[in-house]
Amino acid sequence: MRSSSLSAVCCLLPYPVDVSLIDLAKSGDRRSLARLVSRVEDDTVEGREALAALYPDGGAAWVTGVTGAPGAGKSTLVDGLVGFAADQGNVAVVAIDPSSPFSGGAVLGDRIRMQRHTDDPRIYIRSMANRGHLGGLADSTPRVVALLDGIGFSEVLIETVGVGQAEIDVASSADTVIVTVNPGWGDSIQAAKAGLLEIGDVFVVNKADRPDVDETVTELLRMLDVGPDRAWRPPIVTTVATDGTGLDELWSAILDHRRYLTETGELEGRRRERASREIEAAVRTGLRRRASLDPGGVELLERVATREIDPWSAAGTIIESM
């Protein structure tokens, strides 16, 4: 009710629509927020202006990424964490996994369970599962997160599958990265092979009502011990997300990691590095668009593949065309 009456007001206001959209979104109007997010996702001029206007207000949100293989129980974990996060402030959930109940995937029972959050004014859930290929998601997710931060959400949870470089990049851009595995030998190895052991700040062995939990924890510990020492030693938490077991411990581990990052000053370095990577990625995307690499690029690639020209001359041609 509240949102529709507010958006009716919007068109009577004397100041520019975008300012009112931002103000309305800040005041809690979900429809205005959804429109803003769409503009940012689509990278429209209005979306860019909104981001530029809101970025100086941001930086207060804590971004938690939850990743792991499909079926590891990430959505149920996020669903549980939302409750804890909502005690700290407004919560935004960005779901990228197409099979997530938040994204309309998964079985109906799960979807209904998640939907109880939809009516909570402190909680905003955005599915990005259908925004095209993963590369596009990796491009737009950080922008959407920055928008939600600037709007005033103090907790942002990203749910993303830990498969593929683009998704790993998304996950590792969070302040705290939760890596989810299940009991059993192969899962933690798969996580290692996917590069998840390197990015996890907190590890969760979910579905801990299944056999082999202790072996999985031991194995994770041993694998984490291999390699150079890190100042932060990632804790391993066992959970049964479906009945809430272990979620309080997981939330404590997340808060411990926050305290660690904040007190050591590592948070600033981490965010600075994230900004640097984001600028570089945006330059790449922008240039790819400007050069419209696809038509000329494919033809050039063909000429390189047939050894008519070398890759470095091809690159020179592309750069000159920009």
User: Which residue among 13, 130, 283, 299 contacts a copy of itself (CB under 8 A)?
Assistant: 283
CB 232 within 8 A of CB 36: no
| Of 93-101, 115-123, 139-147, 243-251: span binding a copy of itself (CB under 8 A) | 139-147
Kindly tell me which residue out of 232, 290, 294, 299 binds a copy of itself, with binding defined by CB under 8 A. Answer: 290
Q: How far apart are the first and last CA of the chain?
A: 50
Query: Does 308 contact a copy of itself by CB under 8 A?
Result: yes
Task: Answer whether 197's CB lies under 8 Å from 133's CB.
Answer: no
253 and 235 in contact (C-beta within 8 Å)? Answer: yes
Residue with tokens 């790819």, as numbered in its chain:
288
4 contacts a copy of itself (rule: CB under 8 A) = no
Interface with a copy of itself includes 143 (CB under 8 A)? yes
Binding mask 174-203 for a copy of itself (x = CB under 8 A): -----------xx--xx-xx-x-xx-----
**Site membership for a copy of itself, residue 286 (CB under 8 A):** yes
Q: d(Cα 184, Cα 52) in Å, to the nearest integer? A: 46
- 267 belongs to the binding site for a copy of itself (CB under 8 A): no
307 binds a copy of itself (CB under 8 A): yes
Instruction: Work out how close the CB of 276 gets to a copy of itself at its nearest, in angstroms, rounded to a whole number.
Output: 5
Strand segments, DSSP code E, in the chain are: 62-68, 91-95, 123-127, 155-161, 176-181, 202-205, 236-238
Rg of the chain over Cα atoms, rounded to whole angstroms, equals 21
Residue 77 is inside which H or E element, if any?
helix 74-86
Stretch binding a copy of itself (CB under 8 A), from 13-21, 108-116, 233-241, 280-288: 280-288
Closer CB to a copy of itself, 227 or 265, in the complex: 227
CA 231, CA 228: separation in Å to the nearest integer? 10
Binding track, positions 220-259, relative to a copy of itself; x by CB under 8 A: --xx--xx--------------------------------
| DSSP string computed for 196-213 | HHHH-SEEEE--TTSTTH
Strands 123-127 and 62-68: unpaired
Would you count residue 279 as binding a copy of itself (CB under 8 A)? yes
What residues line the site for a copy of itself (CB under 8 A)?
Answer: 48, 51-52, 55-56, 58-59, 142-143, 146, 185-186, 189-190, 192-193, 195, 197-198, 222-223, 226-227, 268, 271-272, 275-276, 278-280, 282-287, 290, 297, 300-301, 304-305, 307-316, 318-319, 322
